[in-house]
């Protein structure tokens, strides 16, 4: 009767406790390697209006573009490759493609191109790859990684020509793309704009929304306390998700099928600011946001902590770095920082079932 329960997929949640002042803190690396982000939510207890520093940072997030019907090989043409891609900080992700059903593509700022394709497409391409780790009994999906920083893939070389032939003539893979670049200058900027002008292209800015939440039951947090004196990090993460989804946290045991109560020990927040930004959000911008939030405690505050949660695209073929990401049921792919006024932090990194472990 219960044998199938053993087959329930696990979720991966990594929790770290450290300090921004610790020389060995890895917070910056974790942010930098989570390439494709679509939403960041900041929760500040006992705050009713958006602080000016936070408003300035989120309004300055990088613009991005929606390109229609872009052939994948165009990202690898020699001039664009040398003057734009290899300069770094270019991000491209296929738009409205489903990683469990469609061919999905990504260009990483490291110069790698990721192709997550079905079995038929993989066999037609004839490029070297590996079976997806999310296959069933028989491989039905494959992942091809093209590292354009590899010397053997230098433009004009035999391997480069082989890749371009496969993508341009054998199977011309095409998709709508979200594309962004953090910083670019000189000829590269002009070339990028020329490139974009060749396609149906729409320039977009991340959207920002704010709301004030009132009279929230809240877990008691103190990174210096242990046991029953402070809320467990995992319980806090669950509470934070409930607040972000506007789920009531003061239910009591009753005849309901499901109830949720704020974990103990708990207190109350008279008001809290929830600021949410959505779009193609670059790691560099999120890093500046994190630094601005650290400065929030430079002045006396009524709260001793705040949080920032960053959600990756559910259908991104990767999660952290080049680690393969699978959708399974919900495509979970996010991380949360809880910042304390003494510059300590909790970091939660989570992915869905079967994903590779976050770094």
- Please give the order of strands across the beta sheet that includes 266-281: 12-19, 344-351, 333-340, 305-312, 37-45, 266-281, 207-219
Pairing of strands 201-204, 90-94: unpaired
Burial 46-62 (b: 16+ CB within 10 A, else e): ebeebbeebeebbeebb
List per-residue pLDDT tens for the chain, 359 residues long: 444 444 445 567 888 889 999 999 999 999 999 999 999 999 999 998 999 999 999 999 999 999 999 999 999 999 888 888 887 789 999 999 998 889 999 999 999 999 999 999 999 999 999 998 876 777 889 999 999 889 989 988 999 999 999 999 999 999 999 999 887 555 667 778 888 888 899 999 999 999 998 888 777 776 665 544 556 777 788 888 888 877 766 665 554 555 667 767 667 788 999 999 999 999 999 999 999 999 999 999 999 999 999 999 999 999 988 888 887 777 788 999 999 999 999 999 988 776 777 77
Distance CA(221)–CA(305), nearest Å, equals 8
pLDDT of residue 253: 52
Distance CA(340)–CA(249), nearest Å, equals 23
Comparing CA positions, the residue from 264, 273, 275, 252 lying closest to residue 218 is 264
| Domain ranges for the chain | 11-62+206-351, 64-204
Cβ neighbours for 357, distance < 8 A, ≥ 6 positions apart: 12, 14
Q: 281-300 pLDDT, tens per residue?
A: 999 999 999 999 999 999 99
Q: 156-194 pLDDT, tens per residue?
A: 899 999 999 999 999 999 999 999 988 755 566 777 888
Distance CA(18)–CA(30), nearest Å, equals 13
Q: Is the Cβ–Cβ distance between 274 and 41 less than 8 Å?
A: yes
Distance CA(40)–CA(286), nearest Å, equals 8
């Amino acid at each position: 009767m219960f044998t199938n329960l053993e087959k329930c997929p696990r979720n991966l949640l990594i929790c770290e406790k450290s300090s921004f002042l610790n020389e060995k803190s890895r917070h910056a690396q974790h942010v930098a390697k989570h390439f494709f982000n679509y939403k960041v939510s900041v929760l500040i207890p006992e705050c009713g209006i958006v602080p000016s520093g936070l408003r300035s940072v989120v309004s300055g997030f990088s613009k991005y573009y929606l390109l229609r019907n872009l052939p994948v090989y165009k990202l690898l043409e020699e001039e664009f490759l040398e003057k734009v891609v290899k300069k770094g900080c270019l991000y491209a992700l296929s738009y409205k493609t489903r990683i469990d059903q469609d061919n999905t593509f990504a260009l990483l700022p490291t110069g790698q191109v990721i192709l997550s394709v079905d079995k038929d497409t993989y066999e037609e391409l004839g490029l070297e790859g590996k079976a997806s780790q999310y296959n069933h009994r028989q491989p039905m999906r494959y992942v091809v990684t093209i590292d354009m920083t590899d010397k053997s893939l230098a433009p004009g070389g035999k391997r480069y020509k082989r890749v371009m032939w496969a993508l341009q003539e054998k199977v011309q893979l095409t998709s709508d793309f979200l594309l962004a670049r953090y910083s670019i200058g000189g000829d590269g900027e002009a070339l990028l704009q020329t490139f974009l002008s060749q396609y149906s292209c729409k320039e977009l800015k991340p959207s920002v929304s704010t709301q004030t939440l009132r009279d929230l039951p809240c877990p008691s947090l103190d990174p210096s306390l242990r046991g029953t004196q402070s809320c467990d990090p995992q319980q806090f993460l669950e509470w934070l998700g409930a607040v972000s989804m506007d789920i009531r946290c003061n239910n009591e045991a009753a005849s309901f099928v499901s109830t949720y109560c704020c974990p103990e020990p708990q207190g109350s927040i008279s008001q809290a600011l929830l600021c949410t930004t959505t779009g193609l959000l670059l790691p560099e911008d999120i890093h500046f946001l994190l630094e601005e939030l650290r400065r929030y405690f430079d002045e006396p505050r009524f709260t001793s902590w705040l949080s920032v949660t960053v959600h990756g695209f559910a259908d991104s073929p990767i999660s952290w770095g080049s680690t393969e990401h699978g959708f399974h049921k919900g495509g979970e792919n996010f991380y949360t920082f809880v910042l304390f006024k003494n510059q300590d932090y909790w970091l939660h990194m989570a992915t869905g079932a079967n994903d590779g472990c976050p770094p």
